Structure 1
Amino acid sequence: MNFTIKTYRQLLKTLQNQGFSFQTFENFVQQPTLKATVMRHDVDRIPSNALKMAQIEAEMGIQASYFFRVVPSVWNEEIISKIVALGHEVAYHYEDLSIMKGDYSKAINHFERQLKRFRNFYPSKTICMHGSPLSKWDNRKLWDKFDYKNYGIIAEPYFDINYDEVFYVTDTGRKWNNGAVSVRDKVASGFDIKIKNTSHLFKLINEDGLPDQIIINTHPHRWFKFGFGWIKEMIWQNVKNAAKKILVARGQKSEVKGRRSKYG
């Protein structure tokens, strides 16, 4: 069954059985192994789910990366401390430009303050953009005016990875690499690999159908033990997907319109 905790454990085991090592995003950027998977978790909601996944990974000898938003419903210092104690990387899932409604000066000041909060728990050297699909501001645009490397940051996955060499997989929209419902969580990939569902993903792994270096992006609020939480998330995600399809379609129309005006 898709997006259950049991399925997540099976995913990790399948990757291990096929000889993949696991690295944090920080370690992968600095010293990538030849056959590596980075489990990149964007903690947008329900941080308790992130802790469950971190515990499973630790039991299996796996290190992963957890990028937390700082909104009150997500920022949980007890959970962050426990995830760090399990041996995982914890870093900032930034959305400062959206929070500050496009004010770059306020946004960079907010970024600095939040980064310091994270470094009270872990010496964070990476960051990752939160897509903020309902916001008109793309949080990555903050770096048009500032340089995150001036803050001791060595990498951001949307800027510092060559996705012609590293295969990117995301569960955005409760599907795998579903561009139709992904407003900003997507990359320009050099691979034309379609993933129909989780069973198909397992099949690709088992049959050596994936590249040797992979970043798998999950959103822990999607992954539950089967029951009420799983059903609630499935229904809510279907509602959101309908809205996000409209946003994606509008974005594509704007891009076409922009190209027409630029080139006549």
Structure 2
Amino acid sequence: MFQTFESSLKHINKRAIILRHDVDLLPRNSLRFAQIQANLNIKGSYYFRAVPESWDEQIIKEIANLGHEVGYHYETMDTTNGDIDKAWDQFRTHLDELRKLTDVETICMHGSPRSKYDNKQLWVKYDYKTLGLIGEPYFDIDFSKVGYLTDTGRQWNGNKVSIRDKVNSSFNFNFRSTQDIIRSVNQLPDQIMFTFHPQRWNDNWFLWTKELVLQNVKNQVKRILIR
């Protein structure tokens, strides 16, 4: 039932939960996610940014060795201030560096919520499939058939605070909590992608509260930006 994004592109199960993890910060949290899943024989996809707060080569290799998919969480339109040619060059450089650590077949856009640049705009001119990549969720999943739930904004119903992590979906979910999702599991579509940001998840009370407070502040800023 659980699939990586890569495996779903090659053959999606009739009933499938595609597990995506955006490693924006605190990669050790992602490693803990990956270890728990591996102990349950579950595999997911982990997308690493090419920045110090995400890119930990030892953790990247550990997650790959656990049997999970590793991909590139790109943001080069932002980091090059919208210079599409420089963004393409930087994208290829980072992809090559990640491929020195493990196989990479898929990529995923980082939302860069404080940036005026949409990282997906790189593909207006260039084609990631020329680099041997087989997919990008925002382009290669039919969300009219596949459901989508994300913890963006530290909310399962965070559309009002999501700037770019949005899809054109046929499904209208409004879950307030993870328990709401669990209770409604039989009403979910047969195929669905879940996106997690593991830095938001913690069983340490102090760290959990810190993330809660910081994300609530960020959400207020996002609401202003979206207006």
TM-score, with structure 2 as normaliser: 0.98
Question: Which stretch of the first structure deviates more once superposed, 49-58 or 71-80?
Answer: 71-80
Match of 1:121 among 95, 101, 104: 101
Aligned counterparts of 2:103 and 2:132: Cα–Cα separation in 1 = 10
Q: Write the mapping of 1:1-264 to structure 2, written as runs, cut at 5 A.
A: 21-205=1-185, 208-249=186-227
Equivalent-residue separation in structure 2 for 1:194 and 1:209 (angstroms): 12
Instruction: Indicate conservation of the 8 Å contact 1:63/1:89, yes or no.
Output: yes
CA contact (8 A) 1:96 1:108 kept: yes
Alignment partners' CA distance in 2, 1:170 and 1:86: 24
How far has the Cα of 1:153 moved from its partner?
1.0
Gap regions ≥5 residues in structure 2: none
The C-alpha deviation readout for 1:166-201, integer Å capped at 9, x for no partner, is 000000011103110000001010112221222111
- Given residue 224 of structure 2, which amino acid in structure 1 is its aligned partner? I
Give % identity. Answer: 49
Could you list the per-position Cα deviations for residues 128-171 of structure 1 after superposition, in whole angstroms to 9, with x for gaps in the alignment? 00000000000000000101111111110001110010000000
Distance 1:76 1:196 in 2: 32
Provide Cα deviations, 1:86-130, integer angstroms capped at 9, x if missing partner.
000001000011000111111100000111111112221110000
Alpha-carbon separation, structure 2, partners of 1:192 and 1:234: 25
Q: Compute the displacement of 1:236 (Å).
A: 0.2
Shift in Å, 1:64: 0.4
- Larger radius of gyration between Structure 1 and Structure 2: 1
Distance 1:172 1:24 in 2: 19
Name the CA distance, whole Å, in 1 between partners of 2:206 and 2:6. Answer: 35
Aligned-partner Cα distance in 1 for 2:176–2:208: 20
Structure-2 residue corresponding to 1:254? none
Q: CA deviation at 1:235?
A: 0.4
Any conservation in 2 of the 1:222–1:230 contact (CA below 8 Å)? yes
Partner residue, 1:5: none
For the residues of structure 1 that align with 2:141 and 2:62, how far apart are their CA atoms? 28
Per-residue CA deviations over 1:204-247 (Å, capped at 9, x if unaligned) read 11xx1100101000001101113111110000000000001111
- The ranges of structure 1 where at least 4 consecutive aligned residues each deviate by more than 6 angstroms after the TM superposition are none
TM-score normalized by the length of structure 1: 0.85
Answer whether contact 1:89 1:122 (CA < 8 A) is retained.
no
Unpaired segments ≥5 residues, structure 1: 1-20, 250-264
SS class of match (2:221): helix
| Length, aligned pairs only | 227
Distance, in Å, in 1 between the alignment partners of 2:53 and 2:102 is: 20
SS at match of 1:91: strand
Is the CA contact (8 Å cut-off) linking 1:23 and 1:36 kept in structure 2?
A: yes
Corresponding position of 1:10: none
RMSD across aligned positions (CA)? 0.8
Q: Is residue 104–residue 133 contact of structure 2 (8 Å, CA) maintained in 1?
A: yes
